[in-house]
Structure 1
C-alpha cells in the first residue's frame, strides 16, 4: 500500500467534486511525546486513508498538529480511532465555524522537527510551563477590562482580515518572528495581565511558555483559539469581540466570524477580505484581492506576475508547463504557521 498521494491537482479536484457526501473540517493539536514519529505517521496515514480523510498533518517527537477534512459518515469512526490511540486520546477537536466541506484535496501526513515552526531551542526553557488556559467566556470577559493586554499570536496576513478589537497585532510574516518580537515589545509590561490568542491554540502553548521564561508573571491563553471562542460566544448569545474573518490554513483561506470587512484589496484598495494565492506559481504570494482585480489580473498579485503568467500559459500550450509535482512543492513551501 502506498502511504502517500500520487494523483495530480486536476485529478484530486475532480475526485472531490464527484463525491456524493458532505465533509466537515476539524483541527486539533497535542503536545505529547512520540517516540517514533515516522512509524506513528505511517499508522495515521493508513487509518485515515481508509476513512477517506484529507488534510495536512504534522508529526514530530513533541506531538501532532492537524487540520483535516472528514466525511460526515465516518466522523464517529474517526473519533473512535482517536480514542484508541494513546497519544491522541482525549485530544480536543475544533470543528470549523464556516465550512463548505472542500477545505483539502488530499491527505498529507509529514514528519517535521516541530509541529509549529517557532525557531526556539526547547532545551533552554521549560516548554510545559505554559500560561493559564482561559475558557472562551473567561477570555471574553477579561479582554474587556482596563489594563489587560490582548496579543494576537498569528501572522500579520491573518490579523489583517480579522482580530480581537483591542488586540496588539504585530507586523510579522512568521510565528518564529513574532515570539521574539512580542517579548521585546512588552518588556516594560511584564507585570500586566496578558491574554494571548491564535487560531486553534497551538501557537499560544509555546508562546506563553516562552514569555514566562522571560519573566512575564501573568500570561494567559485562549484555550481552543478563535475557533472555540466563536462557537462558545454564539452559544452564549454574546456579541463577538473578534471581528472580521478567521484566517485558516486550508483551501478556504478564511471563515466568516462577523460581517465586518476590515481590510482592503492589495491592488486597488477597495474594501475586501478575500485571500488568494497568486495564480503565477513561481510567485504564489498570498494577497487580498477583490473580484474586479481578480478578473483584471487573472488571479495574479501584480502586473509583473500577470505578464509572466500570460507568457507561461502560452508556453504551456506548447507542452513546456511546470510539472504538477514542482507546482505542489512551491505551494507547500509557502505554508507557514
Structure 2
C-alpha cells in the first residue's frame, strides 16, 4: 500500500507534459475535530493519489488546510469524495482564476499540530465565534464606509505585490507576528470601527476574527473565501474590483493577476516589477522579486556570490551543500542584505 509520493518533481512534470490534460488549481480549509489525523491522512492519500490529485495538505486534530491541483476530468469524482466526509460535505472550494498544469508536482499530505501556524492557545477563546462573513458585493459596500478599517492578514511579501485599496498591510514575516501588532494598532477602535479582514483564501481570517472578538473588538468582519473567491465573484458578477496588483499564491505559479497594476519593484534594480522567483542557487533559494533584465544579468540569482556558486558544476555545488541546511534567510523573503531595493 503506497502512502507517500514516490516520483520526483521532474518525473511528475514530464508525466504532466505527456498527458497534456487540463487541471484545476483549488484550495479549501475546514476547522473540525479529527480524532485520528494520521488515519484520516492515509485515507486521503490513497483516494487522491488514485485520482491523480497533487498538492500540499495539512491535517491536524483541529481540521484540514488543502491546496490542490485536480485533473479537470476528475473534478466531479473529487467533489463527490469530499461530500462523503461529513465535515467536508458541500465545502466551498476556492478555484483559482489562472490555472497551470504544474501548479503542484507532488502529493504531500502532512499531519501537523495545527493546520495554521498562528501561535494561539485555542483553549483560551471560542474559535467558533468568528467574524461576519462578507461576499464580494458586501465587502465592496462596507469598505466604502469611512467607519471601516481594512486589514491585510497576510505577510509583507504577499501584500507587497497586491492588496486592497486603503488596506493596512503589516510589515511582518509570519501570520503569528501580525496578530499582536494589529491588536495594538487598533486598540482604540474596539467599540466604534468596522474591522474588515482579508487573506488569500480565508483561513487566517477565520481564526483571527474569533481571536479579535475575544479581545473585545465588537464589529469584526472577514472576506469569505479570501482574495481568490473575491476575484471570482467580481469577474462573474461584473463588480468593481478593489484589489490592485497580484494575489500571491503558495504553489509553483506564485501569483495570480487580479488587476493590471504593478505596485512592487525589482529588489535588485528598483524597476517596476511584481514577479517573485527563488534564487537559482539551491543552497540559498531565497524568494525575492526580480525583473527580466536582472534575471538575465544575475542568472536568476539574488547576489553575486550565489551567481558564482550557481555557475559551478553541479557536483561541486552539491559538495558545497553537503551536510548543510538552508539558513532561515530563505524565510526572510525580500529582506536579504544582498538586495538593494527591499
The residue number in structure 2 matching 1:16 is 16
Secondary structure in 2 aligned to 1:293? helix
The alpha-carbon distance between structure 1 residues 257 and 117, as it changes in their structure 2 partners (threshold 3 A), is same
4+ runs deviating over 3 angstroms: 311-314, 319-323, 333-336
Farther off after superposition, 207-216 or 305-314: 305-314
The residue number in structure 1 matching 2:164 is 164
TM alignment of 1:155-194, pairs within 5 A:
155-191=155-191, 192-194=193-195
Secondary structure in 1 aligned to 2:265? coil
Secondary structure in 2 aligned to 1:11? helix
TM alignment of 1:155-304, pairs within 5 A:
155-191=155-191, 192-304=193-305
What residue ranges of structure 2 are gaps of 5+ in the alignment?
334-342
Offset, 1:279: 1.3
8 Å contact from structure 1 (residues 130, 209) kept in 2? yes
Farther off after superposition, 210-219 or 232-241: 232-241
Secondary structure in 2 aligned to 1:167? coil
Please give the alpha-carbon distance, in whole angstroms, between the structure 1 residues aligned to 2:4 and 2:125: 36
Please give the alpha-carbon distance, in whole angstroms, between the structure 1 residues aligned to 2:64 and 2:102: 22
8 Å contact from structure 2 (residues 28, 66) kept in 1? yes
Farther off after superposition, 50-59 or 93-102: 93-102
Please give the alpha-carbon distance, in whole angstroms, between the structure 2 residues aligned to 1:72 and 1:78: 10
Secondary structure in 2 aligned to 1:252? coil
Offset, 1:249: 0.4
8 Å contact from structure 1 (residues 265, 273) kept in 2? yes
Number of residue-to-residue matches in the alignment: 331
Please give the alpha-carbon distance, in whole angstroms, between the structure 2 residues aligned to 1:282 and 1:212: 43
Please give the alpha-carbon distance, in whole angstroms, between the structure 1 residues aligned to 2:109 and 2:315: 35
Please give the alpha-carbon distance, in whole angstroms, between the structure 2 residues aligned to 1:334 and 1:68: 22
Does residue 114 (structure 1) correspond to residue 117 (structure 2)? The answer is no
8 Å contact from structure 1 (residues 27, 68) kept in 2? yes
**For 1:83-126, what per-residue CA distance to the aligned partner results, in whole angstroms no more than 9, with x for missing partners?**
11123212110100111222100110000111111111111111
The residue number in structure 2 matching 1:89 is 89
Please give the alpha-carbon distance, in whole angstroms, between the structure 1 residues aligned to 2:51 and 2:210: 36
The residue number in structure 1 matching 2:337 is none
Secondary structure in 2 aligned to 1:258? coil
Secondary structure in 1 aligned to 2:120? coil
8 Å contact from structure 1 (residues 118, 175) kept in 2? yes
8 Å contact from structure 1 (residues 134, 221) kept in 2? yes
Farther off after superposition, 246-255 or 132-141: 132-141
Instruction: Calculate the aligned-residue CA RMSD, in Å.
Output: 2.2
What residue ranges of structure 1 are gaps of 5+ in the alignment?
none
Please give the alpha-carbon distance, in whole angstroms, between the structure 1 residues aligned to 2:313 and 2:111: 34
Please give the alpha-carbon distance, in whole angstroms, between the structure 2 residues aligned to 1:251 and 1:307: 25
Secondary structure in 2 aligned to 1:168? coil
**For 1:134-173, what per-residue CA distance to the aligned partner results, in whole angstroms no more than 9, with x for missing partners?**
1111011111221210000011100000000110000001
Offset, 1:2: 1.9
**For 1:303-324, what per-residue CA distance to the aligned partner results, in whole angstroms no more than 9, with x for missing partners?**
22222323464615xx74858x
The residue number in structure 2 matching 1:130 is 130
The residue number in structure 1 matching 2:339 is none
The residue number in structure 2 matching 1:139 is 139
Please give the alpha-carbon distance, in whole angstroms, between the structure 2 residues aligned to 1:259 and 1:330: 35
Please give the alpha-carbon distance, in whole angstroms, between the structure 1 residues aligned to 2:332 and 2:28: 17
TM-score computed with the length of structure 2 as normaliser:
0.92
8 Å contact from structure 1 (residues 99, 255) kept in 2? no
Please give the alpha-carbon distance, in whole angstroms, between the structure 1 residues aligned to 2:179 and 2:90: 28
Offset, 1:76: 0.7
